[in-house]
Amino acid sequence: MKLQALLLLAGIFLFTSFNLQTVPWQELEKGLTYATIPSPVKSSIGDSKIEVLRINPKYFKFNLLAAGEKKCDSKTAKAWGDEYKMIACVNSSMFQLESPFNKSTGYMKNYKYVNNGSLNSKYRNVFAFNSNDTSLSDAHIIDLSCENWEQLKTKYNSFSQSLRMLDCDMNNTWQLQEKKWSMVLLGEDKDKNILFIFVRSPYRVKDYINILLDLPLNLKRLMYLEGGPEASFYVNHSKLKVEKFGSYETGFNENDKNASFWNIPNVIAISRK
């Protein structure tokens, strides 16, 4: 009986491990796949599901839609996406909580439009896209600690800077803190795909990074975009419609009751090339 019990436990362990090592990718079209992944570590709130949109820059163009450049008010991610006929939208970065509210807290530039012309010394990642050099990937998360910013900033037309979550050796860089919140992140995998990553259930950030590292997402870079109820994740594809928004944030909105997108001034969105 003891042997049977041990074999049963071993089977359960192997089954669970197998599930954690496979991502249920759904192909929407060439270069675009989507997955909902049950987190192996459950949050105390919500469904603990991780949403991931994987995008190949060979087939999709990344667009920075900014209220300052468009001369308009902030909009929800859904409104940004629908008005400009985008396939998907997420927050571009955090933004100032004082006027001007449409200004990013990190460096942000889109061709000739400059939202924030100063690098934030605390932010070590810059998402660079719309490359003018065909030898480079059209979208890439630059790590300012191990890549040549002075050279790379001449190779792209669009930039959005935010907090680094992995260092150049793919180690977790976040300091442990007890605060937790919903999150939307931007990742880059080892095959140069860009990932939009969302979770509504709140996690401590350091813990959540470790969860993502343990999943077979093949991560190389990971950048924080936004947290709490402002965190937005919108997909409008003929094969899939997704409207996800955050809610819980320690010290600000400590509940899971948010039922709608919040207005945000700047988004990163994708369209077909």
Would residue 257 count as lying in a domain?
yes
pLDDT at 16: 42
112 phi/psi in degrees, rounded to 5:
-85, -15
Check residue 8 and give its pLDDT.
35
80 within a domain of the structure (yes/no): yes
**Is residue 7 in a domain?**
no
Note whether residue 16 is domain-resident.
no
Number of domain units in the chain? 1
The 240-245 sheet, strands edge to edge: 60-66, 266-272, 88-91, 232-237, 240-245
Residue 144 lies in a domain: yes
Residue 12 confidence class, pLDDT cut points 50, 70, 90: very low
Is residue 61 one of the residues assigned to a domain? yes
pLDDT in tens, 123-153: 999 999 999 999 999 999 999 999 999 999 9
> Which DSSP state fits 229?
G
Residue 78 lies in a domain: yes
| Band of pLDDT at residue 109, cut at 50, 70 and 90 | very high
Q: Which domain holds residue 169?
A: 26-272
Q: Binning pLDDT at 50, 70 and 90, where does residue 20 land?
A: low
Q: What is the pTM of this model?
A: 0.92
- Can you spell out the DSSP letters for 193-210? -EEEEEEEEEE-HHHHHH
**Is 5 part of any domain?**
no
